[in-house]
Structure 1
Amino acid sequence: MGQALAKREMDKGMKQYHEQRFAEAVDEWSSALKKMTKARNKFEALGNICLALCDLGKYRDALTHSGLQIEVANDTDDPVLKSEAFLMYAICNEKLSEFTKAISYCRYCLQTEKVADRTQSYAHLCLGNAYVGLSEFPKAWGSYTKALTLARTKNDKFLELMTSARVGHMFSLLTDYDTGLAYCCKAWDVVSGLPEGDPHVRYRRLLAVYIATPYRRTGRYNEAMDYCERASPRYESAYSIMSETGDRLGQVEALSGMAKTATSQRDLAKATELNVKALDIAQKIGNKLEMLRCHARLRTLYAATGDETLAHRHFSVLRQLLDEMELLCGVCDEVVGERPEKLDALRCGHFIHGRCSDYLARSTLGRAGKTRPCPACRRKSSENPALYT
């Protein structure tokens, strides 16, 4: 009797979840979980609860349930369940900006003896998101490429949607707004092709935010406003929401927006305070791109107030971060992402300016028909460049 009731509650919870009644779905699944005796049923219920809690922005609660899911998987000693549980734990950590932990658990997932194709695909997506969180863009590009390939091979529209959106966001972060917009529009085409009853339609709002950014940055304000109407609240409200959900990267972005607003209003003291606060959180989560941006803004602020010592200190850290992030074009040695510009991703994952691509297209050292190796990889290697094929 108890198991039959648990099954009905599971079905009811799934119906509520598809109707985006996430809190009610969590209640139904939690009630069903208490009645379950079989490990596999408990595993499924815990997984569903984790997904719904993530949709509610309750990432800490989701992480707790994900830990319970790992315990159940370990009890069954089923490698497939273990890989799924590791992935869910990685996703929860990525949502909480614990990017290093997310990467570790994605690796555990992929190294498990048996990994389902779908689990493998989403592990690469989570890896890409975590690498972007750490500003390791070459590694992120490699993971996203694998996820997109698997999405198209398996005709997984949701994976294609989310990966394309994330790749677009990454290129926008690197100020290649045209490429960023192209990927986001691909994702928009996918979500627009879904029937209204599809639960993934709700991701249109997230896409609207991603699409509005390159439109705004390239001066296409009318298009940006069209998407912003479907998007996000003001910085202060956004910061409050991000603090409540535990999204520390979101907190940094909201604080950065508040700091830029204060700068435009010539309130340099407040702008400095907000940038320092954003920098502190960015350092704690290891996001080098946001750290770089904070240091750049603080350098400008301290220079404006005549404190050349602090301005120089922030400039030195800024240059160090550029080297660590490998955001220097290997061809011209100029900064990648300093201004809006087309970028090309090489097979190794390094980025170069689109205008520098012709250099690599030429043959060299008598190797007709063969392109030059990546300058950044060649510089880091002790091999003779003539030995590259």
Structure 2
Amino acid sequence: MGQNHTSNVLALSCTHNGSPDEHAHAHKQLERLLQQLVERSSGTEALNEFEKSTKGKYKTNIAKWECLSMAIRFLSTWGKYRTMVAFAIGQIELANDVGQQEQVSTTATSSWRRVIIQADSYLNLARGNLMLSNFSKSCDYAQKCLDLIGSIHGGSNESILICGHAFLIRGKGYLGLSNLKLALESIEKSLSVAHSYDNKALECLACCAMAAFYLEVKDYEKATFFPTKASELLSEYGKEWNKSFSITTQLSLAAAYRKVGKLEEAMRTCEDVMQLALEEKDRLAQAYCMLNFADVHRVRKDSERSLPRYDAALGLMIETGHRYGQVLVAIGKAKAYIRGKEFQQALQQYSAGLQLAESIGCKVVSMRIHGELAVLYQRMSDQERARSNTLSYHRLMEFIGLFCGVCSEAFGEKHELLEALPCSHLFHLKCVAEEGILDTMSCPTCQKSALKTAIL
């Protein structure tokens, strides 16, 4: 899934009034306080300490909510996702009370604002759970956010933007659960919102999510196109954007470069990202940089360099609680051990990765580990286990639906060009062209319109 670096949609500060210098001072004070807290506590304990430390400083629930909003941005950057989730839950509790203390809860304006901050709080909770690889929870909370926005009449730029980010997080959550149709559908909705409202920052993030989707199904041409598009948006419009956009975009590019064999470009890109990640104290970005470095060295058959970097990446993934990344590390280490013919150690890594992948519900990754295990057991002349893993591989492939609706052949096993119709069903591009699906104007799977509306 990669990363999900975004700042809060509402981007509120901890102070209602004051000069830019006063805002900057409050910002620094909050950063120092949080750094001290997260060094000695986490989760709900950290939230309780934070509330004690800030008690009396903010007179209203909305002011307290805004302070938590800024705190969550710091926690997200630092990879403190467990604590971020606790703070988001605290935000929701405050958001539910907003209006009562302000004594204007009967007005339409107050009701609208309360819904907006409730939705934004659930968006933070969805984002935190996504980064902890709690994909099902992430989808549920993103949907709760969308339901809240849908409950108010009329739309504003603020509410529409929240929806765009909620679609994005929901799409990434579905991708983590290997529900490819719903993942693509949600990411495309996010991209459509960005395009319709000319929001280049959201478009940039949605392009990176598209890249992750096409990496998962092994269409490396599109997996390269989308982060390239994101990079162009960043270059043209992103001079004032948060550095996290650059980190997310370049990590997406690096992953694509490695898959298409552009190893030098992947290394250079990751070196740039690592420098930014160190400056921003972005632990998860550092973890993905180490993972990319390790993968490149493994492909170059340099186990002496790859294995220590896998270990470093794993340490950072465990620290942040990013379980999906831990699975990727296990797979990479297993492949490195196989190159050195250390089959037992490879089996241990694959087994650990499979157990974790199953626990987070990532069926595509589970399927691929079964495929790797089948090949490994074959090399070890263990035909029974090879057959068992082959059967598991095909069962999962069928469950996920990695089959073209035209030719009935599988996709996602090797690099192939794919085509997604507006209904989000995937086909081989050559099958769409040969069968003239766009001419018949209907999807072979669901019979819905095959006519596309350009969104890029």
Both proteins in one fold, TM over 0.5: yes
Q: Deviations over 1:45-82 (max 9, x none)?
A: 11221121011000000000001001111122622222
The equivalent of 1:255 in structure 2 is 330
- Once residues 414 and 30 of structure 2 are traced to their aligned partners in structure 1, the CA distance between those partners, rounded to angstroms, is 41
Superposition pairs for residues 1-389 of structure 1, below 5 Å? Answer: 11-12=23-24, 16=28, 23-24=31-32, 26=34, 32=54, 35-76=57-98, 78-112=114-148, 113-114=151-152, 116-194=159-237, 196=239, 198-231=240-273, 232-233=289-290, 234-361=309-436, 370-375=440-445, 377=446
TM-score (norm 1): 0.87
Provide closer, same or farther for how the CA distance between residues 13 and 271 of structure 1 changes in structure 2, counting only shifts above 3 A. Answer: farther
Partner secondary structure for residue 193 of structure 1: helix
> Per the alignment, do residues 99 and 195 of structure 1 end up closer, same or farther by CA in structure 2, a change over 3 Å counting?
closer
1:211-232 deviation line (CA, Å, top 9, x unaligned): 1233222233333333233241
How many Å apart are 1:22 and its aligned residue? Answer: 8.8
Read off the aligned partner of 2:440 and give its amino acid letter.
Answer: K
Mark the CA change 1:267 to 1:341 in structure 2 (over 3 Å): closer, same or farther.
same
Distance 2:402 2:67 in 1: 43
User: In structure 1, what is the equivalent of residue 104 of structure 2?
Assistant: none
Q: Give the Cα–Cα distance (whole angstroms) in 2 for the partners of residues 58 and 289 of structure 1.
A: 27
* 1:15 shift after superposition: 5.2
Greater Cα offset, 86-95 or 5-14? 5-14
* Offset, 1:34: 5.0
Q: How many residues are paired up?
A: 366
Instruction: Report the CA distance shift for 1:180/1:44 in structure 2 as closer, same or farther (over 3 A).
Output: same
- Cα distance between partner residues in 2 of 1:276 and 1:215: 28
**Structure 2 vs 1, CA of residues 190 and 130 (structure 1 numbering), >3 Å: closer, same or farther?**
same
CA distance in 1, matches of 2:16, 2:184: 46
Q: In 2 relative to 1, CA 144–33 (structure 1 residues): closer, same or farther, beyond 3 Å?
A: farther
Preserved CA contact (<8 Å) 1:6 1:32: no
3-state SS of 1:128 partner: helix
Q: Which stretches in structure 2 are left out of the alignment for 5+ residues?
A: 1-13, 37-49, 100-113, 274-288, 291-308, 449-456
Query: Displacement of 1:23 after TM fit?
Result: 4.1
Q: How many percent of aligned residue pairs carry the same amino acid?
A: 27
Q: Which has the higher contact order (CA 8 A, sep 6+)?
A: 2
Structure 1 window deviating more from structure 2 (223-232 vs 243-252): it is 223-232
Unaligned runs of 5+ in 1: 364-368, 382-389
Summarize the Cα distance change of 1:34–1:244 in structure 2 as closer, same or farther, 3 Å threshold.
Answer: farther
**Alpha-carbon deviation of 1:123?**
0.4
TM-score (norm 2): 0.74
Rounded to whole Å, the distance in 2 between the matches of 1:7 and 1:25 is 20
